[in-house]
Structure 1
Amino acid sequence: MSEPTQKYSISMPRDLAEAARARGGPSGLSAYVAAAVARQMERDDLNELIAVAEAEHGPVTDEEVQARREQLRQAREAQSGTAPGRSSAA
C-alpha cells in the first residue's frame, strides 16, 4: 500500500513545470515531482554522510576518487564479461 498523499501548492518556472509534465507521462506531474524530491533528499543525506566521514577521516583526494572509479569500471567489465578496451558488441 502506498503512502497517503497530501495536496500542496508550489511555485516553479512555467517552462520547467511544462517540461516535467511532459516527462511525467501517464504517471503525471505529481509523481514526477515526488520522485525528483525523493532523489534530492537522498543526495542531501549522502552529502551529510560525506561531511561526517570527511570530518572524521579527512577529505577524499582526487586520486582516491579516480582509483575507486577505476575499480568500479573493472568490476563492471568483469561482471559483464567485457575485456578492458573491448566493446561487448564484437
Structure 2
Amino acid sequence: MSGSRKYSISLPEGLAEAVRAHVGPGGFSAYVAEALEQRVAMDKLGEITADFGTDHDEPTRAEVEAARALLRHDHRASGGAAA
C-alpha cells in the first residue's frame, strides 16, 4: 500500500471500543485498514464469481481454491496479512 492519508469516519461506539480493547493503543488504524483490505478483496471475489457464473457453469472446488490462493498471494504482496 502506498502512503497514508487521514480520514474521519463514524463507527458504532461499541464496535470501536471493542477494536481498541483488542488491538491496544496505536493499532486501531492498522486494524481498520486490514479489515477494509479484506472487504475489498471479498467484494472483488464476489464480482469475479458473479461474472464467471453468468458465462460458465458454477466454479469447481478446485477453481475456488485456486482463486483463494491468488487472493492470498496478492494480499501478501500488498503488505497485508494472509487471508
TM bracket (short chain): 0.5 to 0.7
Would you say how many aligned residue pairs link Structure 1 and Structure 2?
A: 63
Structure 1 stretches of at least 4 aligned residues deviating more than 6 Å after TM superposition: none
**Residue ranges of structure 2 left out of the alignment (5+ in a row):** 66-83
| Match of residue 76 from structure 1 | none
Letter of the structure 1 residue corresponding to residue 38 of structure 2: R
In 2, the alpha carbon distance for the partners of 1:39 and 1:27 equals 20
**Residue ranges of structure 1 left out of the alignment (5+ in a row):** 73-90
Q: Kindly state the Cα deviation for residue 22 of structure 1 after the two structures are TM-superposed.
A: 1.9
1:1-90, aligned counterparts within 5 Å?
3-25=2-24, 28-59=27-58, 68=61
What percent of counterpart residues are identical? Answer: 43
Q: Kindly state the Cα deviation for residue 27 of structure 1 after the two structures are TM-superposed.
A: 5.0
